[in-house]
Amino acid sequence: MSVNIYDTANQLEREIRETDQFVALKEAFSAVKSNEEANQIFEEFRSVQQVLQQKQMTGQEITEEEAQNAQAISAKIGENDIISNLLEAEKQVGQMIDDINQVVLKPVRELYQ
């Protein structure tokens, strides 16, 4: 019997969208987008995060000013329940994806044991 693994992957994608974790993430993201202050802080956070990741990937040093800016934004996020809820929802979806990844990669791991 021939299995089209891509059909299975597409089915998994549809089912992920229906999970409680993804629905919670979608609602949390919508809440951030609909709150001007939370959205502004979140966008600032994403921008700083991208710059720092790019620097790390290219081996560039992160300046003291950039580190302090990142800490200040992290503090703002910690004080904002709407963003904190989004980050927790992201964490839950990330854990689900990690769990799925473990299952999907099991044949490869077993092959090398």
- CATH number of the domain encompassing residue 98: 1.20.1500.10
CB atoms within 10 A of CB 48: 16
Total count of domains within the chain: 1
- Per-residue pLDDT tens digits for 35-80: 999 999 999 999 999 999 999 999 999 999 999 999 999 999 999 9
Report the amino acid identity of residue 84.
S
Residue 1 banded pLDDT, cuts 50, 70, 90? low
Give the domain range for residue 62.
5-111
- Per-residue pLDDT tens digits for 16-39: 999 999 999 999 999 999 999 999
Q: How far apart are CA 10 and CA 56, in angstroms?
A: 33
Report the amino acid identity of residue 113.
Q
Structure tokens at 112: 């090398």
Of the candidates 90, 80, 85, 93, the one whose C-alpha atom is nearest the C-alpha of residue 38 is 80
